[in-house]
A = this chain, B = another copy of it.
Amino acid sequence: MKDTYQFTKANVDETCDTVYDYIVDYISDNGYAPSVREIGRGVGLKSTSTVYGHLKRLVDQNRIEMTKGKRRAISLVDEGNPMEVDYDEVPLLGTVTAGMPILATENIESMLKLPQDTYASTENMFALRVRGDSMVGAAILDGDLVLVRKQNTADSGEVVLALLGDEATVKTLIRDDQGHCLLRAENAAYADIPFESEDCKILGVVCGLLRFRV
């Protein structure tokens, strides 16, 4: 016959959600899980058994995990990986020269972040800063960063990154009627470069461009 009861009977699911939210916040704030009594205090439930009932419900719903007997042994069942990154990274290379493996770690200046939904895979891609105005006709300016997909062949007309002797350059690959190849600068001031497979090598195909100005 006590009149000290003050709670209002609430919807189970709502209370459950409140408990869950409290746990999430608590862990976010403190780095470890709350105790049953702390949860009760936090959400306004006076009995540990009530809270405990909600916890069992949350376990059944597969929203949390508890280890029987252990203290504060509540862990969240995260949807996927919470640390999951939502961007892709491609290595930004320094100067590319012959001899060195192009993706050698010493050659990587930094990692360049790209939106994740841009390319199916950035596995074999890298970025490189373009020097010179030889490709202005292909809308590639001095200082631009080009994204290159690593491959050693290319079709006629594709803009490629090629190794000419000891230097890497961006040029358009042209295959003529006789099956001969040449590298063409998209700038009338530069002459075509015959492509002899001996000391020339295709490093990749340009598949993107980034231009950042102040």
Contacts and interface: CB of A to CB of B under 8 A. Distances in A.
Contacts of A115: 112-113
A32 B75 contact: yes
A75 B113 contact: no
Nearest to A207: B213
A86 B81 CA distance: 17
Interface string A57-90: 0000000010100111111100000110011000
B207 A209 contact: no
Please state the number of chain copies in the assembly: 2
B139 A74 contact: no
A105 B108 CA distance: 38
A113 B139 contact: no
A30 B139 contact: no
B208 A209 contact: no
A33 interface: yes
Contacts of A35: 70-71
A208 B139 CA distance: 13
A80 to B, nearest CB: 14
A99 to B, nearest CB: 29
Contacts of A197: none
A72 to B, nearest CB: 4
Contacts of A119: 212
A111 to B, nearest CB: 8
A136 B140 CA distance: 11
A114 interface: yes
Given A208-B210, A210-B211, 8 more contacts: A31-B75, A32-B33, A32-B67, A139-B139, A147-B212, A208-B211, A209-B209, A210-B210
Pairs A-B, 3 closest by C-beta atoms: A31-B75, A71-B71, A209-B211
11 contacts: A31-B75, A32-B72, A32-B73, A32-B74, A32-B75, A35-B71, A71-B72, A82-B83, A139-B139, A207-B212, A207-B214
